[in-house]
Amino acid sequence: MVKHRQGRGALDRYHERRDFSRSTEPRGDVGSTSGNPVFVIQKHDASNLHYDFRLEVQGVLKSWAVPKGPSTDPREKRLAIATEDHPLDYADFEGVIPEGEYGAGAVLIWDRGTYENITETENGPRPMAEALANGHALVRLSGEKLHGGYALQRIDDNADQWLLIKMDDEAADARRNPVSTEPKSVVSGCDLDEIAAGEDE
Ligand code: MN
């Protein structure tokens, strides 16, 4: 079963890449889940600026790096590169990953909330882990900036490359461009420069 792959060892790649005596990122562990699963989008000023899109699935945050960030326009297909699973605690992380460390740079919580898995098969709802293993998942986000359906579609023959696409629903809006007009953290209200400066003090 897909479920069996999670649990012990699910965060090995996350832990191996980080020195927790240097970075203030959470060490974290596989969590137990209750209530609606969370999603978080972290704006990350690493060597290349990107948005980390993360969905709680079976006690970890499944993660994708989205170079251009999410769109609210269903015609925009945004490349999303699958990255290592992160601990649930990471949804609260905002700060600066120190120079020389993996992912060095400022991180802010660009959007956060809960989501609903709306992936269906002919026979009814498809569990999230199964949907991701199958390369196609539909989620309905309830965030502060993003709302409504988003499709995650794996690009053929490349396990790491996906597309993140706004579904054409009542929350779709081709005129909005929240990545540029709403750059600040939904938690602290800070922008990336302020986060970076705050760590220097
Ligand atoms: Mn990142």
pLDDT in tens, 44-89: 999 999 999 999 999 999 999 999 999 999 999 999 999 999 999 9
Closest by alpha carbon to 52, among 73, 69, 72?
Answer: 69
Read off the pLDDT of each residue in 100-116 and give the average, rounded to a whole number.
96
Read off the pLDDT of each residue in 138-153 and give the average, rounded to a whole number.
98
Which element (helix H / strand E) includes 128? helix 128-133
Output the CA 124–ligand 1 centroid distance in Å: 34
Output the CA 42–ligand 1 centroid distance in Å: 7
pLDDT score of 199 more than 80: no
pLDDT score of 5 more than 70: no
Which pair of structure tokens corresponds to residue 51? 């948005």
Of 26-35, 132-141, 162-171, which range is least confident?
26-35
Beta bridge partners of 151: 138, 165
Which pair of structure tokens corresponds to residue 23? 């970075």
Closest by alpha carbon to 171, among 197, 200, 147, 139?
Answer: 147
Output the CA 7–ligand 1 centroid distance in Å: 23
Closest by alpha carbon to 106, among 97, 114, 119?
Answer: 97
Helices and strands in the chain: count of H runs, count of E runs: 5, 11
> Which residues are found with C-beta within 5 Å of the ion, ligand 1?
44, 52
- Mean confidence (pLDDT) of the chain: 92
3-state secondary structure of 19: coil
pLDDT score of 150 more than 70: yes
Which pair of structure tokens corresponds to residue 32? 């137990």
Output the CA 105–ligand 1 centroid distance in Å: 9
Output the CA 123–ligand 1 centroid distance in Å: 36
Output the CA 53–ligand 1 centroid distance in Å: 9
3-state secondary structure of 173: coil
Beta bridge partners of 142: 114, 147
Q: What is residue 200's predicted lDDT score, i.e. its pLDDT?
A: 54
